[in-house]
Amino acid sequence: MSTHTLELSDFVRLLGSPELAIPPSCLALIKQTDWGYDWVDGQPLDDLVTSLLERIRRKEFSIVVHGDKTRWVRGWGENLDDFVASKGDLNALAPKYVRPNMPVRLFRRLAQPVEPNFEQCWRRVYQEWLFRTYFADRERIFEFGCGSGVHVSVLAEMFPQTKVVGLDWAEPSAEIINNMHRMHGWNTEGRVFDFFHPDYSVDMPANSVVLTFAALEQIADKHGPFLEFLLAKKPKLCVFIEPIREWYDPANFVDHLAMRAHDTRNFLVGLTGALHKLQSQGKIEILKEHRVEFGSLLHEGYSQIIWRPL
């Protein structure tokens, strides 16, 4: 029996949204899951932290290497093979690194959920809120760094009249999106796109929205070319959902672990400063910045920066 549970007030805090602004479909999804959890404390916390510190010391996870897309071609290639073999089963799009029964980061502490697929359930609630709040009534939706296509598939079903373009530098990712069109008849298009060398031939109508979801985390401090690309294309809205190093609290040990892992993996840095500089120059308007205090063991990957070019 869990001692805590996420209440609606907790979702309001996590999403950074007034309760009245949460769509009914999102509220319905919240009711479908057991959000019970226990804090990880005492010896279990000591053991978990020791394990995480050892993983950081040994660098036992993927490290971002500028220009190297090998592991993404391999990883999304596995999802592509599964998707085709299953004749379009959306379960085949789940990233291989997502594992059940894992502790999560919650409100700057570590928690052990009751529901085995707690983070996946949270992500589906988050998608429902995020997409219906910011992506409705757009002429075109672009997800840059779309990976296995888990977000594109939700968007394509949610907004069948809107063209959803999934872009990624790994060719299998683009193939997954194009297979969605062939297998499900969805209004989707896959394209190869490199954040470091943007393709300016991408046609972006004025009433378009841009999404990145744990994708810019992979480009370290090399976000300049992509931001210049967006300034030139002038979409209606840009929605960045990313782990933001600058928003962690170094005085909090759980945050300190995230910062160390973030640095070890060569993850995203300097984006908030770059956007604030562009705002001070009158080139963009930042509409929302919100730290989402939820994530996997080592990162909060759901924080929001929402802005628009001027």
Alpha helices, DSSP H only, in the chain? 8-15, 24-30, 42-58, 70-85, 118-134, 150-158, 171-184, 224-233, 253-264, 271-280
SS3 content of the chain, % helix, strand, coil (to 5): 45, 20, 35
For the residues 79-98, what does the mean pLDDT come to?
A: 89
- Any long-range contacts for 25-30 (C-beta under 8 Å, 24+ apart)? 25/128, 25/132, 26/125, 26/128, 26/129, 26/132, 29/124, 29/125, 29/128, 30/125
pLDDT, average across residues 47-61: 90
In a domain, residue 42? The reply is no
Reduce the DSSP state of residue 106 to 3 states and report it.
strand
Identify whether 48 is part of a domain: no
CATH at 295: 3.40.50.150
The SS3 assignment for 118 reads helix
Is 61 inside any structural domain?
no
Q: Is the pLDDT of residue 64 over 70?
A: no
In a domain, 106, yes or no: no
Q: What is the DSSP string of 217-246?
A: GGGTT--HHHHHHHHHH--SEEEEEE--GG
Instruction: Look at residue 71 in the predicted model and tell me its pLDDT.
Output: 87
Report yes or no on 111 lying in a domain.
Answer: no
The Cα 227–Cα 278 span in angstroms is 10
Cα(80)–Cα(88) distance, integer angstroms: 10
The mean per-residue pLDDT over the stretch 268-283 comes to 98
In a domain, 270, yes or no: yes
Question: What is the overall mean pLDDT for the chain?
Answer: 95
Domain extent for 223? 69-98+125-309
Structure tokens at 297: 């063991």
Pick from 55, 3, 13, 22: nearest CA to 296: 55
- Beta-carbon contacts of residue 257 (< 8 Å; ≥ 6 apart): 49, 52, 53, 56, 298
Which of the four pLDDT bands, split at 50, 70 and 90, describes residue 138? very high
Domain count, the chain: 1
As a whole number, mean pLDDT of residues 221-245 equals: 98
In a domain, 279, yes or no: yes
For the segment 3-18, what is each residue's pLDDT rounded down to a tens digit? 999 999 999 999 999 9
| β-pair type (284-290, 303-309) | antiparallel
Banded pLDDT at 167 (limits 50, 70, 90): very high
Q: Is the model's pLDDT at 253 over the cut of 80? A: yes
Task: Say whether pTM exceeds 0.85.
Answer: yes
Q: State both tokens at 179.
A: 């297979």
In a domain, 169, yes or no: yes
Res. 2 pLDDT band, cuts 50 70 90: confident
pLDDT confidence band for 98 (50 / 70 / 90): confident
Q: What is the pLDDT of residue 69?
A: 85
For the cut 80, the answer to whether the pLDDT of residue 184 exceeds it is yes
Q: 238 forms bridges with which residues in the sheet? A: 210, 307
CB contact at 8 A, 233 and 193: no
Structure tokens at 119: 């983070």
